[in-house]
Amino acid sequence: MRRCDVVVVGGGAAALCAAIAARRSGASVLLLESAPKDLRGGNARHSRNFRIMHDGPTPFIQGRYDADDYRSDLRRVTGGRMDETVADRLIGDSAGIVGWLEENGVRFQDAGDGNLPFSRKTAFFLGGGKSLVNALYATAGRLGVEVRYDSEVRRLEPGDGWAPSVTVRCQGGEQVLCAGAVVAASGGFQANRDWLRECWGAVADQIVTRGTPHATGTVLKGLLDLGAAPVGDAGYGHMVAVDARSPRFDGGIVTRLDGLAQGIVVDRDGCRFADEGSDIGPTRFSVWGDRIARCPGGVAFSIFDSAIERRFRPSIFPTIRAGSVGDLAVALGIAPEALERTVSAYNAAIRTSGGNTEGLDPPKSRVAAPIAVPPFGAYPVRAGLTSTHLGVRVDERARVLDRDGIPLDGIFAAGVIMAPNVIGRGYLAGIAMTIGAVFGRIAGREAAAHALR
Amino acid sequence: MRCDDASAMWDQARRALEICNACQFCDGYCALFGALKARRDLSLVDLAFLSNLCHNCRACHHACQYAPPHAFQLNLPRSLSRVRHGTYQDHAWPRPLGRLFQKNERFVLAVTLIAVAACLALGMLWVPREALLGVGAEPKAFYRVVPWGVIAGSAGVTAGWSLLAIGMAVRSYWRSLGPVPGGARWLPALRDALRDAVTLRNLGGGAGCSDRDERLSRARRRFHHAMAYGVAACFAATAVATVFDHALGWAAPYPLLSAPVLLGTLGGVGILVGTAGLAWLKRGADPEPLAPELAGADLALLAQLFLVSASGLALLAVRETAAMGPLLLVHLGSVLGFFATLPYGKFLHGPFRVAALLRAALERHAADR
């Protein structure tokens, strides 16, 4: 028996945009969010901005960012791992997404309010992701979308001639729901420790998931089992360096460590392993994700002195301090002689004029300053995983495709679960939210049209 | 407040603001986040300053990815409410009276009731029965019941004391914030602070705030405007009446369509609507971001203002009947109680917040030099 026209699986930005778009297209919509109400919204809760194409300044975005510019940014970070047709649809539709979101209750922040950094590529929503999520849930509710929390979709079945079905685990046990169409918008598998261990090995247990604990990838796996073509790379994820004392999930933006480039970074053996000065711009966070994940035990330490410490924003966790490098090493559980040796070799290699090192392996190519003024300080660092880079292949209408490129009947995908079609490698600020909103809207409309055909 | 409670309160607020500073997703909501951004480490002085920039609008709480049930348990509005209330206590003048901010509603309501009761009792004791219960709105009818000198004298002395105490408290608070940033331009800063104060730009300016729940609204700002401008209209009515009486020789009561009565009526209705509306919003508000122990102080001020306004309007309605005399005593008592408690109650949020807004504006106008 058909429960409703469109079932949307997920509760983040992509799911909400799909639900709203489907409802506005006349379909009856049921949205299944696996999180409880207080933690609804997936990783969108931790998000901040949309990357949008635009021909000139608007109240919410400065300058100009045209389609060619957008496309070349995507090509650069992905190294060409992108579907041009899907990417073009993303770029084209991104131009109108801010207006559509505003119509659906989302408020954007005035680009010239003196608080936001200059941005010609992204528009910031007022109050961050949770306020966006609240606004979209309110709109969905007002439009008559039925929302169910604590409802995890366990299984997806293909259409038996006319309708796909989903099996939901909710408070009353399991339930099978049939729908005219299903939109899968349930994110990646970054919170699924077992799956991560399968693909990444032991390091999976050493990393922190920066977002929702509900990104288990159950639906992603289900779609792949149904024959959906995979896209992207299960062995790859977007990671940044976070304070090792971060909570296991949902640390969001605040646990990122800012100062790694300023001092030195050592592994648990007290040895440096990378050029700390390689990235001092916006990429300074993400460049460390992979580096630290590869360290023994998945842990590293940011080491600085009290002069260097003034140059970066502190961690939200207390600085571990000691009067000498040896004592600091003891406090961190590193052999004191090893850290002392590393620090003195580093100090000795600094060229006073250039701000870099000479004859050191690995070198520090920029902002090299001696670690000499006590008290000395340190933060423990781990890799924080934002999202995984494995998805299902879709076309530009958000239809999930099998390995022959044939759409699975009545099944659509939006958001991180299909993001690797566009961004198979790397990351661009604000791109995940744009993929979620743009393909959420497309998937919602397409699903409604499919269900009501 | 016990010492460990106070230090736990400071620690909680500092922790919350450190996380906010690392996040800054809320920087479009109000002036607090910009002022926070300019600070790396947060001292107790910074907390005292930032807490008074917060208008307790709670938009940031409902937008907060770190609010409960998140492990960080962030509750910025609640933490800052407590610190802010502590600043009133710390800077009260004379200093020992700061303890009146504990269970503040008891003090405020007790003083008000005592003032009303005392006025009624003294009136019944001293005012001749025919004057107290006399009928007629002839000129100087009010002064038949209570001589002008007693009304003006008692109100003047109480208000004068209050002004002095509030001034000293604000001075102490301002000085505690440390020297004004070098190179700050005062005129544009004053202009900004005044604009922010009279428009309540930081309370639901733009998108609105979370008056009751996560939905944004401007109701709290509108009710506050009705109340605050109502109070202003009542003061204007008193000022005009003083000019009528002393410069022009026209004694009260004045006709219904005279400037003092019109201003007073308009102001009185504004206060009734504003205070009732604010209390109603408070009643239905999501309790989570509120500091429950401080609700009493807020409600006490609202109740006082409601009483002042209601008794004043009632006085207008019955001024030609025998009830005029007793109601005049009730109104006078409520006004005296209101004045007497101003420096030791929620009213301090007004001048403290203006001081903080001015400080923030000075910092902005020093920074962009």
User: Which chain A residues are closer than 8 Å to B74 by Cβ?
Assistant: none
Q: Any bridge partners for residue A238, and if so which?
A: A387
Return all residues near B159 (Cβ < 8 A) that are at least 6 apart: B339
CB atoms within 10 A of CB A226: 17
**What Å distances lie between residue B170 and A253, B86, B349, CA to CA?**
38, 14, 10
- Taking contacts as CB-CB distances below 8 angstroms, the residues of chain A near B11 are none
pLDDT tens figures, B119-175: 999 998 988 888 888 887 677 788 888 888 899 999 999 999 999 999 999 999 999
- How large is the average pLDDT for residues B353-361? 97
Look at residue B1 and tell me whether its pLDDT is greater than 80: no
Whether B29 and chain A come into contact, CB under 8 Å, resolves to: yes
pLDDT of residue A353: 79
SS3 A228: strand
For B364, the closest chain A residue by CA position comes to A114
- Judged by a CB distance cut-off of 8 A, whether residue B76 touches chain A is no
Predicted confidence (pLDDT) per residue in A22-52, tens digit: 999 999 999 999 999 999 999 999 999 999 9
Chain B residue at shortest CA distance from A113? B28
Phi-psi region of B144 (alpha: psi -120 to 50; beta: other; left: phi over 0): alpha
Q: Find tokens 């304070």 and name the residue.
A: A243
pLDDT of residue B330: 95
If pLDDT is split at 50, 70 and 90, which confidence band does A161 have?
Answer: low
- Please give the distance of CA B289 from its chain centroid, rounded to a whole number: 20
Check whether A1 has a pLDDT greater than 60.
no
Q: Which residues pair with A390 in a beta bridge?
A: A232
The pair of three-digit structure tokens given for residue A237, joined into one six-digit string: 């994820």
The interface residues of chain B toward chain A in range 200-239, judged by CB-CB distance below 8 A, are 206-207, 214-216
Q: Is B25–A48 a contact, with Cβ atoms under 8 angstroms apart?
A: yes
Tokens of A78: 């992905």
Q: Where in chain A is the domain with CATH 3.90.700.10?
A: 239-384
The pLDDT tens digits of the residues spanning A94-125 come to 999 999 999 999 999 999 888 888 899 999 99
The string of pLDDT tens digits covering residues A309-333 is 999 999 999 999 999 999 999 999 9
The SS3 assignment for A262 reads coil
Q: Which residue of B has its CA nearest to A39?
A: B69
8 A C-beta contact, residue A94 and residue A52: yes
pLDDT, tens only, A129-152? 999 999 999 999 999 999 999 999
B212: exposed, middle or buried (C-beta count within 10 Å: 0-12, 13-18, 19+)? middle
Q: Kindly state which CATH superfamily the domain A2-229+393-451 is placed in.
A: FAD/NAD(P)-binding domain (3.50.50.60)
Residues in chain B closer than 8 A to A131 (CB atoms): 59, 62-63, 214
Report chain B's mean pLDDT, rounded to a whole number: 92
Chain mean position to CA A401:
24
- pLDDT for B326-345, tens place per residue? 999 999 999 999 999 999 99
What is the DSSP code string of A294-308? Answer: TSGGGEEEEEE-TTG
CATH no., domain A239-384: 3.90.700.10
Tens digits of residue pLDDT in A44-99: 999 999 999 999 999 999 999 999 999 999 999 999 999 999 999 999 999 999 99
> Where is A158: in which H helix or E strand?
none
Question: Looking at beta carbons, which residues of chain A come within 8 Å of B41?
Answer: 314
ipTM of the complex: 0.94
Would you call A151 helix, strand, or coil by DSSP? Answer: coil
Measured at the CA of A101, the angle between CA A97 and CA A102, to 5 degrees, comes to: 115
Least confident range of A156-160, A365-369, A436-440, B365-369: B365-369
A196 or A161, greater pLDDT: A196
Distance CA A79, CA A72 (A): 10
Across the interface, of A46, A107, A113, the residue whose CB is closest to B65 is A46
Residue with tokens 């009303």: B116
Contact assignment for A128 to B25 by CB distance below 8 Å: yes
Task: Please indicate whether, in this complex, the C-beta atoms of A127 and B214 are within 8 angstroms of each other.
Answer: no
% of chain A beyond a pLDDT of 70: 99
Please identify among residues 231-250 of chain A the ones whose CB lies closer than 8 Å to any CB of chain B: 247, 250
Q: Give start and end residues of each alpha helix (H) in A279-400.
A: 287-293, 325-332, 336-349
Q: Please write the tens of the pLDDT for every residue from B27-55.
A: 999 999 999 999 999 999 999 999 999 99
Q: In this complex, is the C-beta atom of A40 within 8 Å of any C-beta atom belonging to chain B?
A: no
Is A406 touching B (CB cutoff 8 A)? no
Picking from B48, B52, B20, the residue whose alpha carbon sits closest to that of residue B36 is B20
CATH 3.50.50.60 residue ranges for chain A: 2-229+393-451
Rg (CA), chain A: 23
Q: Phi, psi at residue A380, to the nearest 5°?
A: -75, 140
Residue A213 DSSP SS3: coil
Q: Which helix (H) or strand (E) holds A240?
A: strand A230-243
Would you say A5 and A179 are in contact if contact means Cβ atoms under 8 Å apart? yes
Angle of helix B76-91 versus helix B44-53 axis, rounded to 10: 110
Task: Tell which residue, A187, A195, A165, has the closest CA to residue A34.
Answer: A187
A176-234: pLDDT as tens digits: 999 999 999 999 999 999 999 999 999 899 999 999 999 999 999 999 999 999 999 99
Q: Which two tokens stand for residue B84?
A: 């802010």
Do the chains contact at A252 and B23, CB–CB below 8 Å? yes
A141 at the B interface (CB within 8 A)?
A: no
CB contact under 8 A, A250 and B65: yes
Q: Which residues of A touch B37 (CB under 8 A)?
A: 115
Nearest CA in chain B to A311: B40
Average pLDDT over residues A400-414: 96
- In this structure, are residues A9 and A2 in contact, taking their beta carbons and an 8 Å threshold? no
DSSP label at B102?
T
CB B133 within 8 A of CB B322: yes
Helices (H), chain B: 3-23, 31-37, 44-53, 59-62, 76-91, 104-126, 129-132, 141-145, 148-176, 186-199, 219-242, 259-284, 295-317, 324-341, 349-367
Residue-wise DSSP of A167-187 = EEEETTEEEEEEEEEEEE---
Asked if residue B245 has pLDDT above 90, the reply is no
For residue A394, give both structure tokens. Answer: 């879709």
Mean pLDDT of chain A: 95
Nearest CA among A247, A246, A266, A271 for reference residue A257: A246
Given A127, A256, A313, which is nearest B25 (Cβ)? Answer: A127
**Interface A-B: count of C-beta contacts within 8 A:** 83
Q: Which residues of B touch A116 (CB under 8 A)?
A: 27-28
Q: What is the pLDDT of residue B2?
A: 52
Pairing verdict, β A2-9 and A173-184: parallel
* Look-up of token digits 């006004």: B335
A48 to chain B: which residues are within 8 Å by CB? 25
Whether residues B28 and A313 touch (CB distance < 8 A) is answered with: no
Q: Could you tell me what percent of chain B has a pLDDT over 90?
A: 77
Which pLDDT score is estimated for B253?
81
pLDDT at residue B206, rounded to an integer:
64
Tell me how far apart the alpha carbons of residues A432 and A70 are, in angstroms, rounded to a whole number: 14
How far apart (Å, rounded) are the C-alpha atoms in residues A337 and A325?
9
Q: Which of A434, A426, A424, A421 is nearest to A52 (CA)?
A: A434
The residue in chain A having the minimum alpha-carbon distance to the alpha carbon of residue B33 is A115
